Amino acid sequence: MNVRNATIDDLQAISAVENICFPANEAASAAAFEKRLRVFSGHFWLLEDEGQLVGYINGMVTNHITINDAMFEHAELHDENGAWQSVFGLAVLPQFRKKGYAGKLIDHLIEKAKEQKRAGITLTCKKHLVAYYEKFGFTNRGISQSTHGGATWHDMVLHLKS
């Protein structure tokens, strides 16, 4: 298993994994991924098994402690000098789940955010994943303003600085 930064050449493989892992109303479009890869590929990491894409984690850097829906489509809102590393998407192919691979991607993102001296990490998740992210030190700030895909989301934040 190897973690590396994504490039625009990975667009098709990423889209294929996204469409397996998320329902159509929540999946990011290929156009949204293309913009993300052009603007913040430095914050888009892939987990591969002998060259096969197994999963990924990605998100812009922002000065907002919570994610808002505009960010998902507007990669240009990325601010390389922002305080918060966000997570827009975390996905692992079904046949590779429950082996700690998503955890490996989260740990990698935390490590990079520490190296880059970010204030912390911000993400939104559904209720059933709140406890999962808490295991990594995230705290639940309550119901998000996000209505992405028509679902209810929770704002989760991990503080890296006291």
Ligand X SMILES: CC(C)(COP(=O)(O)OP(=O)(O)OC[C@H]1O[C@@H](n2cnc3c(N)ncnc32)[C@H](O)[C@@H]1OP(=O)(O)O)[C@@H](O)C(=O)NCCC(=O)NCCS
Binding site for ligand X (CB under 6 A): 21-22, 90-92, 97-103, 125, 129, 132
CB nearer to ligand X: give 23 or 162: 23
Shortest Å distance, C-beta 80 to ligand X: 23
To ligand X, the closest distance from the beta carbon of 132 in angstroms equals: 4
Give alpha helix (H) positions in the chain. 11-21, 30-40, 69-73, 101-115, 130-134
Contacts for 35 with CB less than 8 Å, ≥ 6 apart: 73, 74, 75, 76
Nearer to ligand X, 80 or 127 (CB): 127
Helices 11-21, 30-40: inter-axial angle, 10-degree rounding:
130
What the block records as the tokens of 9 is 């050449």
Residue 18: CB minimum distance to ligand X, A? 9
| Nearer to ligand X among residue 61 and residue 105 (C-beta) | 105
